[in-house]
Amino acid sequence: MLRLSSMLSTDTKLLIYKCFIRANFNYCPLVWHFCSKRNTDKIDKMQYRALRLVFNDFTSSYEELLQKSKLPALHLSRVRSMAIETYKILNGISPVYLQDLVSFKNSQYSFRYDNLVQVPQVATTKYGKHSFRYEATRVWNSLPNEFRVADTLDEFARLLWTWGGQSMCQCQMCR
């Protein structure tokens, strides 16, 4: 892309970036989410480098380049993917083998929020807290109530696109 950047417009470079580079980062996002902080920092650094080439801007910060491109951070994309998968599981849209990963919280009390899920008890941090089952419940429970009670997947995804996520997310990468 560096060799062609002088011959292409910014819009064309952004399109190439979205089709070829960003698509690789969005492939299996739930697997990438549980990589080490060091590896996710490397992925973010590659995206930052690509965005600098797209906009030919070597002075702006990573957040400013993301705003210019109107793209969410990779971490936020992964958290949103996790929320969408959780919605599918809870509404019976996902494959059968995923159905027992997340379940609604059964309580005899009336809470002000609907559709909370049961946070599993974990024995270890590595295989417990750094797992889809644990993080998906934390992400789901941190969503606003109007998101969790959405009737369709399309409506949920549309609402989720407006969610900033970073302030509410408690995963290992956000701490």
Tell me: the pLDDT tens digits for 23-33? 888 887 777 77
d(CA 109, CA 141): 17
d(CA 151, CA 91): 9
Per-residue model confidence (pLDDT) at position 137: 83
Share of the chain above pLDDT 70, in %: 84
Kindly report, residue by residue over 95-105, the tens digit of the pLDDT: 888 888 887 77
d(CA 60, CA 54): 12
pTM of the model: 0.80
Kindly report, residue by residue over 151-165, the tens digit of the pLDDT: 999 999 999 988 877
Of 1-5, 72-76, 77-81, give the lowest mean pLDDT range. Answer: 1-5
Distances (CA, A) of 7 to 1, 56, 75, 119, 125: 10, 12, 32, 52, 50
